[in-house]
């Protein structure tokens, strides 16, 4: 019998797992995908917002500002990458300036720290490529960028280190309540029992609730956003996140520097019927391309290496829905966690455990909780003397596999065998960045595939890109049939 | 470790460059990141190589072997499984760091460097294809490597987007390997591959070529594998025409949508980029703005024939050797400019500090021209005027100029005119 089952290993599920691992509980995280952070957490702007935008007195406003602060602690404990770049909200004329003032007041009410209004002359000094049509900006220095899936990995890894179990490829197909506990069926086969269930299933959170509840308090209205990625060799083109003024449709098309140097352009925002629709469209990307130039001069569109779409778990409610089920005690929902979900995640986890679950009343804290996670070695970033030392010990650090991102064989092998290891091309890409560069895996995918096959004692024919069934090859050449 | 000349890359370009350096009596080291020499030639098991250089037809590996044999006979020093990770010029010397399993990180110094790093394939990311992102959408070159080197088929029902040569070659290769190849789509109204490849790889196997067509949608199955593509005709401004959609159920879409010179290594150097070739600008000696740094082969401009890569790289090797003899040159340059109907010209400069180097120019046209007149003009002076037949962007054209016939003060413009 588990004390808690968490369903969903996106940023929310992972960070709750880590928070839960501070207590003396028996808990497991179930993820239907073949990896942590594979849906919403994998495809978004990666911004930890300051909290200037949400409507005052909402959960979004409260947890965004608090979550932003809590990331400083996570940065130290979990060694997650954070770019403390700050952000500018850009206004182009008197009308927009008025809107900017409203946003300024909003930031004040929400208790955002350190924000200020700057005129173009002052702003352009620290942002040379800022659009020449800019008249004023709202500067938000506490806005920062992270790598969302690395945060999820770090949290889940640390949670596992502290005793939480994790199972991937585990789709919850049924939930029943009997004799004061829940019975959860995985993949129509295995059954697990738990005293409490935390529904952190993102875009599937409403479907999951429907499995057991007659009347679910929210439903997901999936919203899709499309992006371009510009190669990291344009690093320095912008120094801040550049936002346009928000509209009803969301925060608009932004320019966002990423922790590894790329720049994201996007997203558009469109409600969609199918929550699994991750397709990019001519119209969507065209919209992004047309709107971005309002923020900066000479955007290097010729350096685009990738485009993608992400789905947000928006709901019919204008705020996050975080609370206990009205029909079942100890079933907890985290519904409608769209933007600023990433920013708010650390605060959401604390709020759920401390204020909703009131965990301290039922469980003691662990004495031996280890909050720290060792930094993953990014070999190419180390100084030469450290590289030489490490190579002596582990010669495979000398074998460059992904030449665009300079990722070594040792880093890939470590990513396969680590506590939260992966045996897929995409899993290795998410963990090491092999295949994220200019040639998008054209050169290294074959090499990564062979290393995975070797390390897992499998044929390349059984090596997958992402889900276990997404094999790369159909057959060997000239095989007798 | 100090060397006269280091060649980076051991494919068609690097082999020819290193051989030519050695023949000029200079010390040379070649660095190759793969486990064997030969580069992409190793996976090009089709024939068609060598007609220009040897007047005989070879497969890619055979063609590479001819060079590798000569390379070995000349006892040229080389490293395999070795990647250059850092590259710079400090004062008059190039400094580079390599990384390998066998030797770890090592530092080399050289008087001159030849960049023979080839090119990489454009991926789906560099063009917009709407739809899902399933497995089964793969560049033609990667599929070729999987098939010819590793022995694996990436799919059984195949469509090919882009009529670049690798795509055409792979259409035939997949067909012969037992796959169904349903067609090749090309956005332009003409093919981007060599005519001989259209005939030998498509026509001979009844594989249809859809000109002025593109893929406008990709859908995936429940395992996130490619399920189907939608092919659509485009108008003369490349906009898809409504009502022309055709769906093909395929498990694989090969992309043959262009190659880009791989010059990432030059990021740390003060070179001048050319948006037209997507590489760096060079003079007729194939030397960049950085003295002693030469670029050749597909790293300089994407060639249609390996033979031309070899010839160009041989010149780079010869010139690098001459540079080592005489590094202090008084530069006096004029520009070579792309004029009417020219999509690019290489070299971009003529440097009178290189009187010993032939001025061999290559260019591609912007469109298809049945009969053309190429004119090279310097001020009032028509330096060259030459008639050409059947000029297409897919086929590189060359001409040479006599440096004595040029003046040192005026830029040169190249025009291509369609004539009757």
Q: What is the pLDDT of residues B107-136, one digit of tens each?
A: 999 999 999 999 999 988 777 787 878 899
Region A141-150 average pLDDT:
97
Tell me the shortest Cα–Cα distance from A441 to chain B, in angstroms.
9
Catalytic residues of A, by residue number, are: 49
- Each residue's pLDDT tens digit, A385-425: 999 999 999 999 999 999 999 999 999 999 999 999 999 99
Measured between alpha carbons, how far is B409 from B325 in angstroms, rounded to an integer? 27
Measured between alpha carbons, how far is B220 from A123 in angstroms, rounded to an integer? 45
Q: Which of B9, B31, B99 to mutate to test the interface with A (most CBs of A within 10 A)?
A: B99
Measured between alpha carbons, how far is B92 from A185 in angstroms, rounded to an integer? 70
B178 CB neighbours in chain A (<8 A) are 478
Q: How many CB atoms lie within 10 A of CB B407?
A: 12
Strands of B286-396 (E only): list them: 293-295, 333-338, 342-346, 349-351, 359-365, 369-378, 381-391
B176 touches chain A (CB under 8 A): no
CB atoms A446 and B145 under 8 Å = yes
Given a cut of 70, whether residue A92 has pLDDT beyond it is yes
Nearest alpha-carbon partner for A445 in B118, B80, B125, B142: B142
- Each residue's pLDDT tens digit, B322-344: 999 999 899 999 999 999 999 99
Measured between alpha carbons, how far is B120 from B373 in angstroms, rounded to an integer? 33
Measured between alpha carbons, how far is A396 from B97 in angstroms, rounded to an integer? 17
Q: Which of A32, A262, A274, A279 to mutate to test the interface with B (most CBs of B within 10 A)?
A: A279
Looking at residue B249, what is its pLDDT? Answer: 97
Looking at residue A478, what is its pLDDT? Answer: 72
CB atoms A396 and B101 under 8 Å = yes
Which residue of B101, B126, B150 is in closest CB contact with A395?
B101
Enter the tokens of residue A468. 């276990």
Enter the tokens of residue B76. 């040229």
CB atoms B135 and A470 under 8 Å = yes
Torsion angle of C-alpha atoms B322, B323, B328, B330, degrees rounded to 10: 80
Measured between alpha carbons, how far is A137 from A239 in angstroms, rounded to an integer? 14
A6 pLDDT band, cuts 50/70/90, is very high
Q: What is the ipTM of this complex?
A: 0.94
A263 CB neighbours in chain B (<8 A) are none
Q: How many CA atoms lie within 13 A of A406 on its CB side?
A: 20
Given a cut of 90, whether residue A250 has pLDDT beyond it is no
Which residue of A399, A403, A439 is in closest CB contact with B100?
A399
- For residues B128 and A280, is the Cβ–Cβ distance under 8 A? yes
Which residue of A396, A399, A474 is in closest CB contact with B153?
A474
B275 CB neighbours in chain A (<8 A) are 302
Q: Which residue of B has its CA nearest to A33?
A: B223
Torsion angle of C-alpha atoms B270, A265, B124, A439, degrees rounded to 10: 30
Which of A333-337, B53-57, B355-359 shows the lowest mean pLDDT across its residues? B355-359
Looking at residue B415, what is its pLDDT? Answer: 96
B100 touches chain A (CB under 8 A): yes
Nearest alpha-carbon partner for A442 in B325, B197, B262, B173: B262
Q: Which of B86, B223, B256 to mutate to test the interface with A (most CBs of A within 10 A)?
A: B223
Measured between alpha carbons, how far is B42 from A301 in angstroms, rounded to an integer? 34
Q: How far is CA A335 from CA A162, A311, B329, B392, in A?
A: 27, 14, 71, 58
Q: Which residues pair with B397 in a beta bridge?
A: B363
Tell me the shortest Cα–Cα distance from A301 to chain B, in angstroms.
10
What does R_g of chain B's alpha carbons equal in angstroms?
22
Which residue of B123, B267, B275 is in closest CB contact with A442?
B123
Q: Give the mean pLDDT of chain A.
A: 95
B242 touches chain A (CB under 8 A): no
Q: Which residues contact A54 (CB under 8 A, 6 or more apart)?
A: A60, A61, A64, A110, A340
Looking at residue B1, what is its pLDDT? Answer: 83
Enter the tokens of residue B94. 């190039």
Tell me the shortest Cα–Cα distance from B111 to chain A, in angstroms.
23
Region A336-359 average pLDDT:
97
B123 CB neighbours in chain A (<8 A) are 305-306, 439-442
CA atoms B96, B99, B103, B104: torsion sign: positive
A341 pLDDT band, cuts 50/70/90, is very high
Strands of B116-225 (E only): list them: 119-121, 137-139, 152-153, 157-161, 180-186, 209-211, 213-220
- Each residue's pLDDT tens digit, B268-312: 999 999 999 999 999 999 999 999 999 999 999 999 999 999 999
Nearest alpha-carbon partner for A81 in A148, A155, A14, A160: A148
A233 CB neighbours in chain B (<8 A) are 264, 267
CB atoms A398 and B131 under 8 Å = no
- Each residue's pLDDT tens digit, B70-106: 999 999 999 999 999 999 999 999 999 999 999 999 9
Given a cut of 80, whether residue B237 has pLDDT beyond it is yes
Q: Which residues contact A259 (CB under 8 A, 6 or more apart)?
A: A46, A81, A82, A83, A145, A146, A147
Q: How far is CA B234 from CA B181, B210, B347, B365, B368, in A?
A: 22, 11, 34, 22, 18
- Each residue's pLDDT tens digit, A107-135: 999 999 999 999 999 999 999 999 999 99
Measured between alpha carbons, how far is B160 from B147 in angstroms, rounded to an integer? 16
Enter the tokens of residue B334. 């004029």
Q: How far is CA A324 from CA A163, A333, A335, B24, in A?
A: 25, 6, 11, 81
Measured between alpha carbons, how far is B20 from B144 in angstroms, rounded to an integer? 30
Region A358-385 average pLDDT:
95
Which of A214-223, A445-454, B123-132, B286-295 shows the lowest mean pLDDT across its residues? B123-132
Three-class SS of B11-36: CHHHHHHHHHHHHCCCCEEEECCCCC
How far does Cα B367 stand from its chain's mean position? 19
Measured between alpha carbons, how far is A26 from A6 in angstroms, rounded to an integer? 11
Which residue of A281, A305, A470 is in closest CB contact with B125?
A305
Q: How many CB atoms lie within 10 A of CB B258?
A: 16
A277 pLDDT band, cuts 50/70/90, is confident
Tell me the shortest Cα–Cα distance from A396 to chain B, in angstroms.
6
- For residues B131 and B224, is the Cβ–Cβ distance under 8 A? no
Where helices occur in B91-207 by DSSP H, the ranges are: 140-145, 165-176, 195-197
- For residues A366 and A23, is the Cβ–Cβ distance under 8 A? yes
CB atoms A466 and B150 under 8 Å = no
Q: What is the count of residue pairs from A and B with beta carbons less than 8 Å apart? A: 134
Tell me the shortest Cα–Cα distance from B110 to chain A, in angstroms.
20
Looking at residue B41, what is its pLDDT? Answer: 98
Crossing angle between the packed helical segments A341-350 and A59-78, to the nearest 10 degrees = 80
Q: Which residue has the tokens 């966690």?
A: A337
Region B21-33 average pLDDT:
98
Q: What is the biggest distance separating any 2 CA atoms in chain B, rounded to whole angstroms?
A: 67
Would you call A279 exposed, middle or buried from its count of C-beta atoms within 10 A (0-12, 13-18, 19+)? buried
A282 pLDDT band, cuts 50/70/90, is confident
Reduced to 3 states (helix: H, G, I; strand: E, B; else coil), residue A232 is helix
Q: How many CB atoms lie within 10 A of CB A214?
A: 6
Nearest alpha-carbon partner for B16 in B286, B306, B357: B306
Looking at residue A481, what is its pLDDT? Answer: 53
Q: How many CB atoms lie within 10 A of CB B200?
A: 17
Q: Which residue of B has its CA nearest to A472?
A: B154
Measured between alpha carbons, how far is A264 from A379 in angstroms, rounded to an integer? 25
B124 CB neighbours in chain A (<8 A) are 440
Q: Which residues pair with A191 in a beta bridge?
A: A185
B263 CB neighbours in chain A (<8 A) are none
Where helices occur in B74-164 by DSSP H, the ranges are: 140-145
Identify whether A276 is preceded by a cis peptide bond (ω within 30 of 0).
no
Which residue of A391, A440, A446 is in closest CB contact with B125?
A440
Torsion angle of C-alpha atoms B127, B130, B135, B139, degrees rounded to 10: -20
Region A179-188 average pLDDT:
97
A405 CB neighbours in chain B (<8 A) are none
Measured between alpha carbons, how far is A376 from A135 in angstroms, rounded to an integer? 43
A22 pLDDT band, cuts 50/70/90, is very high
Identify whether B347 is preceded by a cis peptide bond (ω within 30 of 0).
yes
Looking at residue A479, what is its pLDDT? Answer: 62
Looking at residue B124, what is its pLDDT? Answer: 81
Calculate ∠ Cα A67-A166-A177, nearest 5°. Answer: 90
Looking at residue A480, what is its pLDDT? Answer: 58
CB atoms A305 and B33 under 8 Å = no
Tell me the shortest Cα–Cα distance from A446 to chain B, in angstroms.
8
Strands B226-233 and B246-249: antiparallel
Q: How far is CA B414 from CA B362, B371, B390, in A?
A: 11, 16, 18
Calculate ∠ Cα B159-B164-B165, nearest 5°. Answer: 100
Where helices occur in B249-363 by DSSP H, the ranges are: 306-325
Measured between alpha carbons, how far is A26 from A1 in angstroms, rounded to an integer? 8
Looking at residue B194, what is its pLDDT? Answer: 87
B81: left (phi over 0), alpha (psi -120 to 50) or beta: left
- For residues B78 and B31, is the Cβ–Cβ distance under 8 A? yes
CB atoms B275 and A279 under 8 Å = no
Tell me the shortest Cα–Cα distance from A472 to chain B, in angstroms.
6
């Amino acid at each position: 019998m588990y004390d808690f089952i968490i369903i969903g290993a996106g940023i929310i599920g992972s960070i709750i797992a880590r928070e839960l691992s501070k207590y003396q509980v028996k808990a497991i995280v179930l993820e239907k995908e073949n990896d942590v952070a594979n849906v919403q957490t994998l495809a978004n702007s990666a911004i930890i917002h300051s909290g200037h935008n949400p409507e005052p007195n909402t959960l979004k406003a409260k947890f965004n500002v608090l979550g932003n602060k809590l990331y400083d602690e996570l940065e130290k404990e979990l060694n997650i990458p954070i770019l403390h770049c700050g952000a500018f909200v850009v206004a182009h004329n008197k009308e927009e300036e008025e809107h900017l003032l409203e946003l300024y007041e909003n930031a004040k009410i929400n208790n955002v720290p350190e924000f200020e209004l700057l005129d173009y002359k002052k702003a352009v000094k620290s942002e040379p490529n800022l659009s020449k049509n800019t008249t004023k900006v709202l500067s938000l220095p506490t806005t920062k960028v992270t790598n969302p899936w690395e945060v999820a990995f770090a949290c889940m890894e640390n949670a596992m280190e502290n005793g939480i179990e994790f199972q991937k490829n585990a789709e919850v197909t049924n939930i029943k309540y009997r004799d004061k506990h829940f019975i959860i069926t995985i993949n129509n086969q295995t059954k697990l029992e738990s005293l409490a269930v935390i529904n952190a299933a993102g875009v599937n959170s409403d479907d999951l609730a429907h499995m057991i509840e007659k009347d679910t308090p929210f439903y997901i209205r999936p919203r899709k956003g499309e992006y371009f990625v510009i190669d990291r060799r344009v690093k320095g083109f912008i120094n801040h996140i550049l936002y346009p003024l928000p509209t009803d449709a969301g925060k608009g098309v932004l320019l966002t520097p990423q922790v590894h140097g790329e720049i994201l352009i996007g997203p558009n925002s469109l409600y969609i019927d199918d929550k699994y629709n991750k397709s990019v469209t001519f119209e969507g990307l065209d919209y992004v391309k047309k709107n971005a130039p309002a923020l900066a001069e000479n955007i290097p569109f010729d350096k685009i290496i990738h485009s993608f779409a992400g789905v947000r778990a928006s709901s019919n409610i204008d705020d996050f829905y975080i609370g206990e089920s009205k029909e079942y005690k100890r079933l907890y929902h985290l519904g409608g966690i769209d933007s600023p979900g990433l920013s708010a995640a650390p605060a959401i986890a604390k709020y759920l455990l401390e204020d909703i679950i009131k965990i301290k009343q039922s469980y003691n804290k662990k004495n031996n909780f280890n909050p720290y996670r060792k930094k993953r070695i990014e070999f190419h970033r180390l100084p030469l003397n450290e590289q030489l030392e490490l190579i002596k010990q582990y010669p495979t650090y000398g074998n460059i596999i992904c030449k665009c991102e300079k990722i070594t064989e040792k880093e890939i092998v470590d990513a396969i065998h680590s506590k939260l290891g992966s045996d897929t091309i995409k899993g290795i890409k998410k963990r090491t960045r092999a295949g994220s560069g200019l040639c998008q895996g054209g050169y290294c995918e074959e090499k990564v595939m062979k290393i995975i096959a070797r390390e897992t004692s499998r044929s390349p024919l059984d090596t997958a890109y992402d889900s276990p069934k997404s094999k790369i090859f159909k057959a060997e050449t000239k095989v007798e049939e | 470790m100090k060397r006269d000349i280091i060649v980076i890359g051991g494919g068609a370009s690097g082999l020819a460059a290193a051989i030519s350096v050695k023949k000029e009596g200079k010390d040379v080291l070649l660095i190759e990141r793969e486990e064997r020499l030969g580069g992409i030639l190793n996976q090009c098991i089709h024939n068609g190589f060598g007609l220009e250089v040897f007047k005989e037809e070879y497969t890619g590996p055979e063609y590479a072997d001819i060079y590798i044999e000569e390379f070995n006979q000349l006892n040229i020093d080389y490293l395999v499984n070795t990647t250059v990770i850092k590259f710079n010029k400090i004062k008059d010397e190039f400094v580079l760091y390599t990384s390998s399993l066998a030797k770890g990180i090592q530092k080399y110094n050289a008087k001159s460097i030849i960049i023979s790093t080839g090119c990489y394939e454009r991926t789906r990311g560099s063009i917009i294809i709407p739809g899902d992102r399933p497995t089964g959408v793969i560049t033609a070159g990667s599929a070729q490597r999987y098939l010819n080197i590793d022995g694996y088929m990436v799919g059984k029902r195949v469509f090919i987007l882009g009529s670049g040569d690798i795509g055409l070659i792979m259409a035939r290769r997949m067909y012969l390997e037992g796959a169904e190849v349903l067609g090749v789509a090309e956005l332009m109204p003409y093919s981007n591959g060599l005519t001989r490849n259209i005939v030998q790889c498509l026509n001979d196997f009844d594989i249809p070529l859809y000109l002025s067509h593109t893929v406008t949608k990709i859908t995936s199955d429940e395992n996130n594998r490619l399920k189907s593509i939608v092919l659509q005709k485009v108008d003369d401004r490349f906009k898809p025409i409504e009502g022309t959609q055709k769906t093909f159920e395929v498990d694989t879409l090969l992309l043959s949508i262009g190659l880009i010179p791989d010059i990432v290594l030059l990021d740390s150097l003060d070179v001048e980029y050319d948006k037209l070739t997507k590489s760096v600008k060079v003079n007729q000696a194939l030397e960049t703005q950085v003295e002693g740094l030469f670029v050749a082969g597909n790293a300089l401009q994407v060639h249609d024939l390996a033979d031309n890569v070899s010839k160009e790289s041989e010149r780079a090797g010869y010139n690098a050797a001459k540079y080592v003899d005489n590094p202090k040159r008084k530069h006096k340059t004029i520009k070579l400019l792309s004029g009417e109907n020219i999509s690019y010209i290489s070299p971009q400069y003529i440097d009178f500090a290189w009187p010993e180097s032939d001025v061999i120019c290559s260019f591609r046209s912007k469109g298809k021209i049945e009969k053309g007149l190429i004119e090279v003009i310097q001020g009032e002076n028509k330096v060259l005027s030459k008639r050409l037949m059947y000029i297409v962007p897919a086929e590189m054209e060359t001409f040479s100029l006599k440096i004595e016939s040029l003046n040192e003060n005026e830029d040169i413009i190249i025009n291509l005119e369609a004539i009757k």
